[in-house]
Amino acid sequence: MVIDEACVGCIIHQSEKVSHAINASPALSNKLTFTVQEMSKEFSYLKSPPEIAADVYEKMAQIANKKDLYDEVKALSTKKALSFVPLLTNKLSTCQNRLLTATKIAVAGNVIDLAAEVEFDLEEELEKIFETEFAQSDFHLLQEQLPHAKTVLIIGDNVGEHIFDYLFIETLQELFPHANFSYMVRGKPIINDVTMKEAKEAGFDKLCNLVDSGVNTPGFTYSRANPHAKELFDTADLVIAKGMGNYECLSPTHRKNICFLLKVKCGVVANSLGREIGDSVCKFI
């Protein structure tokens, strides 16, 4: 996906979110917003929203003199997500369809998105996710393909959400022990996306094959990935991509057999999918 006019205002608004997250002074806050507004005049409409966001956030980080703009917020998101683990573990142990429940847990975690046009409450989402059907459901394809896939790549999205991804992968490994599972994260801090730091803290390096994609975008931009990440993406039997950023970067893409798991949180993505804001999606391409 390339950026839309609506993306421009959304990206400018994100400068206000950054100011709030880092407790910026009025002067710094004004400088951040002014800088992004000026950058927006030169946005390329040939790039995806995550590619534009990468440039904007890199500039804001330089101005704020802060390597990871959302480090404190990410820590809080992880702590909140961890508080739900006992509930979710119980759900998984008592449900009738563990794969479906684990998949819904993975999508529920996708509401933790600091760059979204619309924000959702995680606790409220968890209360309804198990009784809510996917607005677009290719779950049957996921169910059909996993028993035959020898290599499965899950591309992560946001911090906090990664705790839910851990439960998802843990369940996949129990259900399909023949397969080799990899979890791919961003190459450097960008918005609240998961990096090697948060993934290792959560134990992914002991759970499965943990991969640094090398990308600096809030989504898997193939052209910016390191050679190992590209090879893994190209050769995996099945790719499961979490969140809107990965959907924006991989629509279109050169390979097939990608399952997108996401919560629709902006009008541009909603239009692309033919869905409504708030819908949960399990879509294959």
SS (H, E, C) 72-101: HHHHHHHHHHHCCHHHHHHHHHHCCCHHHH
Q: What is the mean pLDDT of residues 119-143?
A: 92
CATH of the domain at 118: 3.40.50.10880
**pLDDT value of position 115:** 85
The domain boundary residue, chosen from 64, 82, 97: 64
Regarding whether 97 and 222 lie in a shared domain, the answer is: yes
Percentage with pLDDT > 90 across the chain: 93
Cα separation, 184 vs 187, in Å, equals 9
Is 126 a residue whose pLDDT tops 90?
A: no
Please say if the pLDDT value at position 197 is more than 90: yes
Position of tokens 């949960």?
280
Q: Contact 58/216 with Cβ under 8 angstroms?
A: yes
Q: How many domains does the structure of the chain reveal?
A: 2
Domain that holds residue 219: 71-284
Q: How far apart are CA 231 and CA 33, in angstroms?
A: 38
Residues 15 and 114 in one domain: no
Residues 11 and 139 in one domain: no
> Are 246 and 149 in a shared domain?
yes
pLDDT of residue 201: 98
Residues 172 and 33 in one domain: no
Rounded distance, CA 285 to CA 150, Å? 19
Question: For residue 24, how many other CB atoms are within 10 A of its CB?
Answer: 21
The stretch 250-256 carries a mean pLDDT of 96
Q: What per-residue confidence (pLDDT) applies to 258?
A: 98
Structure tokens at 268: 């541009």
Examine the domain organization and report whether 53 and 100 are in the same domain.
Answer: no
In Å, how far from its chain's centre is CA 121?
16
Query: Quick one: 157 and 263 in the same domain?
Result: yes
- Asked if residue 53 and residue 30 are part of one domain, the reply reads yes
Residues 142 and 233 in one domain: yes
Tokens (6 digits) for 66: 């802060």
Least confident range from 32-46, 105-119, 127-141, 213-227: namely 105-119
